[in-house]
Structure 1
Amino acid sequence: MDSLKISDSEWEIMKVIWQNPNCTAGEVIDALKDKKEWQPKTVKTLIRRLVDKKALGYEQYKREYKYYPLVEEGDCVKEESKSFLQRVYRGSLKNMLLNFIEDESLTKEDIEELTRILEERK
């Protein structure tokens, strides 16, 4: 995947379309109306940007456009994770993990799961 840069607002649009492929702009607007106070024009602008970035494709049915993802959600999450890791931790996974482990309150189950995963990686 060619390092696709998706803004936070565009992520909101993509989440809706990943969950409801082949939906219309109106359906995206309806799905987001309780979460975001965006005008319909804002949603349509974000959709257009995602089409321009080749993150979304569309098919026209009469006067209606149905949008579908051209990128997999998992691929975008991986790319965003790599970007975050590089920006915030200079690419050091170890430093990021240490920061989260030291700052977050982990349950006994969390610690056991992390230990199991690390043991499997050895």
Structure 2
Amino acid sequence: MGISEAEAIIMEVLWRSAPRSAEEILAEVGPQQDWQEGTVKSLLNRLLKKKAVKAERDGRRYLYAPKLAREQYVSQESKGLLDRLFGGRVAPLVAHFSEQRKLSRKDIAELRKLLEELDDDQP
């Protein structure tokens, strides 16, 4: 399931707090994105067709909630990024950020700790 950048903005709102009406979503993201009600409703309809969200009638409106878990989305997106840009390998990704000086001391410490934990798990 491919989620566009605009659809991801809607999903982030729903992951933070759901269920939400289209009007509530618009109030949260409309001003920053310069979106109108029609834009939000179009994005919600696209997400419904992709089965990323579900809608439940609440009187004269619909309330939307995510069906796609954020963790599942992050996993799909990160795998896609690794596959597209780094041949599915993590080491070239880390090397890229290292070369671009985008790794903080904290990042490096966390990577070391993760590598040590992974190494400890090996037979």
Same fold (TM over 0.5): yes
| Identity, % of aligned positions | 35
What are the ranges of 5 or more consecutive residues in structure 1 without an aligned counterpart?
Answer: none
Deviation at 1:105, TM superposition (A): 4.2
CA distance, structure 2, for counterparts of residue 40 and residue 85 of structure 1: 35
Alpha-carbon deviations, 1:62-85, whole Å to 9, x = none? Answer: 111000010100110010000111
Structure 1 residues 9 and 105, CA gap change in structure 2 (3 angstroms): closer
In the TM superposition, what is the alpha-carbon distance from 1:103 to its structure 2 partner? 1.2
1:22 alignment partner in structure 2? 19
One-letter amino acid matched to 1:109 = K
User: What is the CA–CA distance in structure 2 between the aligned matches of 1:106 and 1:5, rounded to whole Å?
Assistant: 29
Higher RCO (Cα < 8 Å, 6 or more apart)? 1
Other-structure match for 1:50: 47
- In the alignment of these two chains, the number of paired residues is 119
Aligned equivalents of 1:59 and 1:107: distance in 2?
44
Gaps of 5+ in 2: none
**What SS is found at the alignment partner of 2:24?**
helix
TM, length-normalised to structure 2: 0.90
Q: Greater helix share, 1 or 2? A: 2
Normalising to structure 1: TM-score of the pair?
0.91
CA RMSD of aligned residues (A): 1.2
Which residue of 69, 78, 81 corresponds with 1:81? 78
Alignment of 1:83-102 (within 5 A): 83-102=80-99
Corresponding position of 1:64: 61
Tell me if the contact between 2:97 and 2:103 (Cα under 8 Å) persists in the aligned partners.
Answer: no
2:12 is the counterpart of 1:12: no
Which consecutive segments of 4 or more residues in structure 1 shift more than 6 A? Answer: none
